[in-house]
Amino acid sequence: MQMETLAVVQVGYDLLVGGASTTVSKIIAIGSLDLVQQSVIQKQARIRTLYNDGLLDYLGQESLSSFLTERYYGGRRNETTDFNYELYLERGVGGTQDTDYIDIELVINVPPEQDILYAPEVFEVLKFAWIKYYSFLLLTYLLLYRGLYAFVIKNKVFDSVELTQVNMRALLGNKKKGL
């Protein structure tokens, strides 16, 4: 799967302003960008690129708040991401720092593998199912036929005669004489 996504960091105004003698000089957010999936997707043979659509292009057409609430988090997308982060603020003493800008530093850990729920095709299910049925039948054969049948014959649970080449000749000879 390939997709364009967002890492959203929210910092309240009251955290930025603080007291009159201190201002925030740097915001540091450290966290992990995790995949959030609303429902199961269908398996495809090629790479899924449904959400490679230039998310920031929509901001020219709508406000940031409506974009986030309606288009991104509001249910229009099946797969989104969630940035789980911890926020650190560095404050400078008033008068000693340049207050025209704030440095923002993001450290984003994107896990190399994340779970995606999908509905497999029939042939994929059959590909993995046949070996289970084969092993079950083989196990049944070994337990019932080899195990139970051998136990019945060896312990003479029922009156039985083991047929071999020697026994066959003897049995056939007795039947011919008896007729």
For the segment 9-59, what is each residue's pLDDT rounded down to a tens digit? Answer: 888 776 666 654 567 778 899 999 999 888 898 877 788 777 777 777 777
Mean pLDDT calculated for residue range 144-154:
80
**Whether residue 109 is found in the same domain as residue 22:** yes
The predicted model scores a pTM of 0.57
Give yes or no: residues 50 and 133 share one domain. Answer: no
Same-domain pairing of 32 and 113: yes
Q: What is the DSSP string of the chain?
A: --B---------HHHHH-STTEEEEEEEEEEEEEEEESS-EE--SS---TB-S-GGGGGGTS-HHHIIIIIISSSS-SEEEEEEEEEEEEEEETTTS-TT--EEEEEEE--S-----EE--HHHHHHHHHHHHHHHHHHHIIIIIIIIIHHHHHTTSS------HHHHHHHHHHHHHH-
Is residue 71 located within the same domain as residue 111?
Answer: yes
- Say whether both 134 and 148 belong to one domain: yes
Domain boundary residue, one of 100, 119, 138: 119
Residues 111 and 134 placed together within one structural domain of the fold? no
Boundary-marking domain end, from 94, 119, 144: 119
The tens digit of pLDDT for each residue in 109-131 reads: 999 998 889 888 888 888 888 89
Within this chain, do residues 59 and 111 fall inside the same structural domain, yes or no? yes
Within a domain: 145: yes
Domain containing 64: what range? Answer: 13-119
Q: Which of 102, 119, 136 is the last residue of a domain?
A: 119
5 within some domain: no
- Kindly state whether residues 44 and 55 are assigned to the same domain: yes
**Is the domain of 26 the same as that of 112?**
yes
Confidence grade of residue 171 (pLDDT, cut at 50, 70, 90): confident
User: Per-residue pLDDT tens for 66-85?
Assistant: 888 877 777 778 888 889 99
Same domain, 91 and 133: no
- The number of domains in the chain is 2
Q: Does residue 66 share a domain with residue 150?
A: no
In a domain, 51, yes or no: yes
- My answer on whether 85 and 44 are in the same domain is yes
